[in-house]
Amino acid sequence: MAKKIKKSTRISGLTSGTILHAGEKKSDGIKVTIIDYNEAQFQEKEVKKAEECFPFKDKPTVTWINIDGLDDFEIMEKVGKHFDMHPMVLDDIVNTGQRAKFEEFEDYIYIVLKMFYLNGKDNEIQSEQVSLILGSNFVISFQESQSGDVFNPVRERIRTAKGRIRKMGADYLAYALLDAIVDSYYLIMERMGEKIEEIEEELMLNPMPPTLQTIHDLRRDTIFLRKSVWPLREVAGGLQRSESKLIQKSTDIYLRDVYDHTIQVIDTIETFRDMISGMLDIYLSSLSNKMNEVMKVLTIIATIFIPITFIAGVYGMNFKYMPEFNWRWGYFGALGLMLMVILTMLTYFKRKRWI
């Protein structure tokens, strides 16, 4: 198990550009919270021992067990065993770096994906792997660390019995959590959108080499985002089409909604990609333009002065017999000749539309 953890970390060590930061996950122990509810009642508590979760397995109420931190193997395994989770599933839960996927088992559905949230302290975007186990009347969610998540609105809705969540089953709870996670992708989309607009403006004004780096970083971000969003779509689509008895007919429309959102996220990323490659083209051709301009100035100055410098050179020669030297208006004649050359050149350039 340890080997694989290391493996995936090394590869995803190729972190992306400026917007997404993997962030150091502080291993701050494990924290288990249980929310148990039905339409009539509601109970929320933090437990210390895995065994405290066990009675909720067979209670008719809906139970949401949220586990922050994946380091305490002992607790993990106890929970896994009690809730009949396959050892491979447990493997996938603790190995971050999974591709988003969902797997149907007889008694539960396993969903794993990435969520994004704002770090409380420095407002940076953090990403974390989330695993969901949907049983007949419980949902277990596993998060990498305790530093934050995107589930607070769901918790609030359960506590306040707002909306229909308290009236629905565990599958609706799973939907609500999924929806909260997909919503977290909009956070990044927004950031990227702002960045793209910023760069576009910058490009219009003054394309300097730093911009190239920024474009490159953005492109890298889209590459990484794509990599994690496309499988998300498969998950959403698959859940919607799933015929598992764990998902009730009435929840289908909500899953369709989640699916629509992932499609929209994908659409937006593809649009970003197109726009970024467009920006690169603009950047490169504006470089060419600049070069052209530089060359033109050089050419104009050089082609004007080279001939007249030559004329000056001729009359700088020291031959004994050079008739022009003795002419009364020789000097001014030479200056006039130079002026004529200049004017001819300027006319030529004008006709060429260079000036």
Q: CB 223 → its own copies: shortest distance, Å?
A: 5
Quick one: tokens of 106?
């007889």
Sign, CA torsion 313/316/317/319: positive
Kindly tell me which residue out of 193, 233, 238, 346 binds its own copies, with binding defined by CB under 8 A. Answer: 193
Piece of the chain touching its own copies by CB under 8 A; list 4-12, 20-28, 35-43, 47-55: 4-12
Running DSSP on this structure, what letter comes out for residue 21? B
Piece of the chain touching its own copies by CB under 8 A; list 36-44, 49-57, 86-94, 117-125: 86-94
In angstroms, the Cα distances linking 111 to 12, 177, 236, 249, 260 are 21, 11, 10, 19, 18
What is the maximum alpha-carbon separation in the chain?
Answer: 121
Q: Within 7-26, which residues bind its own copies (CB under 8 A)?
A: 7-8, 10-11, 13-14
29 binds its own copies (CB under 8 A): no
Q: CB 78 → its own copies: shortest distance, Å?
A: 19
Using the minimum distance from each CB to its own copies, give the nearer residue, 145 or 240: 240
Closest by CA to 58, choosing from 3, 154, 137, is 137
224 binds its own copies (CB under 8 A): yes
233 binds its own copies (CB under 8 A): no
Using the minimum distance from each CB to its own copies, give the nearer residue, 47 or 125: 125
183 binds its own copies (CB under 8 A): yes
Residue 333 C-beta-side C-alpha neighbours within 13 Å: 9
- Asked if 5 and 73 count as a contact pair (C-beta separation under 8 A), the reply is no
Using the minimum distance from each CB to its own copies, give the nearer residue, 297 or 343: 297
Kindly tell me which residue out of 274, 340, 344, 350 binds its own copies, with binding defined by CB under 8 A. Answer: 274
Q: CB 341 → its own copies: shortest distance, Å?
A: 11
Using the minimum distance from each CB to its own copies, give the nearer residue, 56 or 142: 142
Assign 3-state DSSP to the chain and report helix, strand, coil percentages, each to 5.
60, 15, 25
Q: Within 88-147, which residues bind its own copies (CB under 8 A)?
A: 88, 91-92, 98-99, 101, 103
Using the minimum distance from each CB to its own copies, give the nearer residue, 298 or 340: 298
Piece of the chain touching its own copies by CB under 8 A; list 39-47, 169-177, 241-249, 267-275: 267-275
Kindly tell me which residue out of 146, 305, 337, 346 binds its own copies, with binding defined by CB under 8 A. Answer: 305
Q: CB 34 → its own copies: shortest distance, Å?
A: 27
Residues 6+ apart with CB under 8 A from 20: 125, 127, 188, 221, 224, 225
Q: CB 315 → its own copies: shortest distance, Å?
A: 4
Kindly tell me which residue out of 5, 118, 161, 263 binds its own copies, with binding defined by CB under 8 A. Answer: 263
283 binds its own copies (CB under 8 A): yes
210 binds its own copies (CB under 8 A): no
- Asked if 142 and 131 count as a contact pair (C-beta separation under 8 A), the reply is yes
Using the minimum distance from each CB to its own copies, give the nearer residue, 31 or 99: 99
* Dist CA 36 CA 47 (whole Å): 13
In angstroms, the Cα distances linking 155 to 65, 141, 226, 297, 318 are 12, 13, 29, 67, 98
Q: Within 321-350, which residues bind its own copies (CB under 8 A)?
A: 321-328, 330-331, 334-335, 338
Element (DSSP H or E) covering residue 99: none
The count of chain residues that interact with its own copies, using the rule CB under 8 A, is 98
* Dist CA 222 CA 178 (whole Å): 22
Instruction: Count other Cβ atoms within 10 Å, centred on residue 31.
Output: 16
In angstroms, the Cα distances linking 182 to 21, 139, 149, 169, 238 are 18, 18, 12, 20, 15
Kindly tell me which residue out of 241, 312, 340, 350 binds its own copies, with binding defined by CB under 8 A. Answer: 312
Give residue for tokens 């004007």.
Answer: 304
